[in-house]
Amino acid sequence: MSATELVTDSLANFLQIYLLLLFVRILLSWFQTAGWAQQAMSYLSPITDPYLNIFRSFIPPLGGLDLSPILAIIVLQIVASLIGSV
């Protein structure tokens, strides 16, 4: 395995893990009143919010519904597939 393959595989794996963290963060946001969800969100928010805030600046919440994670996930999947195909 060459160094380039190692870097691209590592980056693709990192993006897949980050995508999983985004999904967990989004699902936990539905249970904000549960204590266990708040505790988990306190760990995930500093990791995922900087990336989500980029898309929140483009798409404001509509009627209390935040649609920016949809675009964030789509962009992350496109980048992961581009890196995985190299």
Closest CA to 72 of 85, 84, 54, 46: 54
Which pLDDT belongs to residue 61? 82
- What pTM did the predictor assign? 0.85
What string of pLDDT tens digits covers the 86 residues of the chain?
788 889 999 998 999 999 999 999 999 888 878 888 888 888 999 999 999 999 999 888 888 888 889 999 999 999 998 987 76
Closest CA to 73 of 10, 5, 25, 1: 25
Which pLDDT belongs to residue 65? 85
Question: How far, in Å, CA of 41 to CA of 19, rounded?
Answer: 15
> SS3 of 86, please?
coil
